[in-house]
A and B are shown apart, each in its own frame.
Chain A
Amino acid sequence: MADLTTEFLGIKSPNPFWLASAPPTDKEYNVRRAFEAGWGGVVWKTLGSEGPPVVNVNGPRYGAIFGADRRLLGLNNIELITDRSLEINLEEITRVKKDYPDRAVIVSIMVPCEEQAWKDILPKVEATGADGIELNFGCPHGMAERGMGAAVGQVPEYIQMVTEWCKKYYSKPVIVKLTPNITDVRFPARAAKNGGGDAVSLINTINSIVSVDLDQMAPEPTVGGKGTHGGYCGPAVKPIAMNMVAEIARCPETHDLPISAIGGVTTWKDAAEFMALGAGNVQVCTAAMTYGFNVVKEMISGLSNWMDEKGYTSTQDFIGMAVPNVTDWQYLDLNFIAKAKINQEDCISCGRCFAACEDTSHQAIEMSADRVFTVKDDECVACNLCVNVCPIEGCITMEEVPAGQIDERTGKVVSDEYANWTTHPNNPSATAAE
């Protein structure tokens, strides 16, 4: 079995699966259970300043969207940072770290955007013996209205400033957690790096309204007849998070900045994908909230099984391997030609590919009177829609048309030369190829 031991910022954990700062890591009781179940590390639920803690609503704080059989696909929450006192949290963190020296314990912090506030809390956190801190610049609701969380994360200058304070008053690694509620994630990432941050973690939750109660005429979760936008997470946000991770990983200014990836990780494969896109480890919240701490067991067995199959002996072997293959659209090879192919053995004649291609794509699928579906190579543009709507996995495949053969749609011979948009004759600003 492959060794999943992962080092992130010099912090060792037995596997790359950490619990994200959220209810699963809200207190000693949960965190001990998480470690017993096998989690490699935790980012403790975000701490606030000394004094009376924040209060949460006393009505529903979650909403969700579902797939078939009520499978939870997206979760939305209006919870705030920890509503327990700083002292108790710090005591618990100290005890837990002492009992689990081999696991990563990171403390998430969100205090007002004033140097003094950070100067006050950081020594106390340092004294717990925890392995590092994570700056919560992401929380999209409640805290942002008080000038914290996403309100800071949306202003790169603030990120840099707060990160600098942390590096000044804290000696261990500082991870800057980014909000996705921005237009270009590379700006906050650069700010974190410029402020001396050791790593970024992303994404925090996405501003969202998951559903509307059509009787009460109010967003859900509805508290006393009103609702507010919450933070969206779970499997539905993974594609958004992956793109943001990849953007940072391939940006020349931040490509060397370690990334802890968060957002929809539910199985080993989600983790492997994030790590291939450059993440050093992953953090998980919704999957644990949906299924309990035991979900990590499948992540562990799945990842090591796949690593064994691939011959990877350490997570380091595949981290970032997909990054060089993430490019801009303009560099995609326009001479690469493919055609959809329907495997008649597997086809169950549902006609979905036909409906999709006929109504919304390129009218490239033929339907016979006896429901045999075939691709018309002279019409198919290889858009892949039929592959995506076919209910039978692997029934429709995309077959590359090898160089030298004729593309029946254009009547042209397929070239083996790479050619992209930048040099295409239809591009008004094309730069002539040498």
Chain B
Amino acid sequence: MASSHQASGIQTGRLAAADIADNFADLHPAYDAHEAAVAADRCYFCYDAPCMTACPTSIDIPQFIREIQAGHPSSAAKTILDQNILGGMCARVCPTETLCEEACVREAAEGKPVEIGRLQRYATDVVMDKDVHPYSRAASTGKKVAVVGAGPAGLSAAHRLAMLGHDVVVFDAKSKAGGLNEFGIAAYKSTENFAAREVNWLLKIGGITMDYGKKLGAELSLDGLQAEYDAVFLSIGLAGVNALRAEGEDLDGVRDAVDFIEDLRQADDLGALPVGRNVVVIGGGMTAVDAAVQSKLLGAENVTIAYRRGRDAMGASRFEQDLAASKGVKLMFNVMPKAIHGAGAASEIELEYTSVEEGRVRGTGETTRLSADQVYKAIGQSLVGQPEAVELEGGKIMVDATGRTSVANVWAGGDCASGGEDLTVTAVAEGRDAAMDIHASLMG
């Protein structure tokens, strides 16, 4: 028998399988052809379109929407994929409310942008579902490029390099490709194993060898790669997790949110995943929201996000905040963890109220306690495992506009590199642009 919301402690099977399936269904379900036609008709085909400027990969949005309007979504897909080879995933995970759709003139006009993300999904699904790969490789250049990290940045770079005729080997410490697409993105954004399907589709270009279980700093070294390859692209993301530095951090039930999400994304049976009755997530970004929402969807009774600054400072967009609220997650602002209490396992969290003065967070001395048998830490990821030789900037690998690091013939992009927001789409753009620069430099 399924245990209910109220069962105390950390339990599996809080909800019936059917409820779990419902809860984790597609956040933005696919359009059917008529919905897509109606949505596409709303686009004004703007001149020098602001939505396009707002897209980190600069997809020609009016053009692809026009192709949907005119009834050839596969050309629309091509328009998208030309700029963004992971256009399918980006259609699902991009915070469009802060990117293209925020810039859409219909957002200004009536608060209802053209639903660019869903239209992008409609177009890319057509190509993915037919399982055709619309690109082919240029004649071989005889050049070899190593890509370290098979997340969006690495995959994007690899595809572009392979297409231009280079031979690419992609190394990853894990046993699967996709990076956070596979292990991090919320389950209701990437349903039906989309991340893996997309990787398989992308690899159809040919010329890309995947080499798993190879970790930079262990099995691989930058020197070794440089000796063997004409160029190296680093796209190792942010594999470290920031510590809480609060008393009781080592109690049972206190975990990194990204580990919980990784378990969830890899689980065959979500009902078998244990979740607490009272869950508190510390943090204010997308990871915090995803951990909180998915705990709720697994059947936790009370889920609270505790963030140390005000709502406006939150990394998660207003849309994400509202999504959390709509699922019954409570958002607490201006509180920071002081201690986690419990005998062996967490049972309560003590939060201190804060005030923010001149950008700095200060405790006010006033505290409050919440029941908490699970505490998820989502206070940011950090760079680990980068080669010593590369210079850092603000805790990330320092790169110039085209992704060159301080070391010759070594490029970097995605979350591990300086500049740009930590988003899937930004990683794709940086991977692509670095690939173009690698190509120019190898062929120059």
Interface residues of A (CB under 8 A from B): 68-70, 348-352, 354-355, 367, 371, 391-392
Contacts and interface: CB of A to CB of B under 8 A. Distances in A.
Contact of A349 (B38, B42, B45, B108): B108
Interface stretch (B46-54, B127-135, B153-161): B46-54
Contacts of B44: 350, 352, 391
The 4 closest A-B pairs by CB, nearest first: A351-B47, A68-B41, A355-B47, A348-B109
5 contacts: A68-B42, A348-B106, A348-B109, A350-B44, A351-B49
Contacts of A355: 47
B258 interface: no
Contact of A70 (B34, B49, B109): B34
B105 interface: yes
A68 B65 CA distance: 14
Contact of B38 (A69, A350, A371, A392): A69
Nearest to A358: B47
Query: Residue among B34, B45, B49 with the most chain A CB within 10 A?
Result: B45
A391 B108 CA distance: 13
A349 B44 CA distance: 11
Given A70-B34, A348-B106, A348-B108, A371 B41 contact: no
Contacts of A351: 46-49
Contacts of B41: 68-69
Contact of B46 (A68, A352, A392): A352
**Size bin of chain B's contact surface:** 10 to 19
A349 B34 contact: no
B392 to A, nearest CB: 35
Nearest to B38: A69
- Chain B interface mostly: helix
Nearest to B48: A351
A350 B105 CA distance: 6
Contacts of B45: 352
Contacts of B46: 350-352
Contacts of A367: 47-48
A414 B47 CA distance: 34
Interface string B105-124: 11011000000000000000
A371 B53 CA distance: 12
A246 B41 CA distance: 34
Interface in B13-72: 34, 37-38, 41-42, 44-50
A69 B46 CA distance: 20
Interface string B91-113: 00000000000000110110000
Contact of B109 (A68, A354, A392): A392
B6 to A, nearest CB: 47
Nearest to A395: B109
Contacts of B49: 351
A355 to B, nearest CB: 4
A367 B46 CA distance: 13
Given A68-B41, A350-B44, A371 B34 contact: no
Nearest to A67: B41
Contacts of B42: 68
A353 to B, nearest CB: 9
A222 B109 CA distance: 43
Contacts of A354: 47
A217 B312 CA distance: 59
B41 to A, nearest CB: 4
Contacts of A392: 109
Nearest to B34: A70
Contacts of A352: 44-47
Contacts of A69: 37-38, 41
A80 to B, nearest CB: 33
Given A352-B45, A371-B48, 15 more contacts: A68-B38, A69-B37, A70-B34, A70-B37, A348-B108, A349-B108, A350-B46, A351-B46, A351-B47, A351-B48, A351-B49, A352-B44, A367-B48, A391-B109, A392-B109
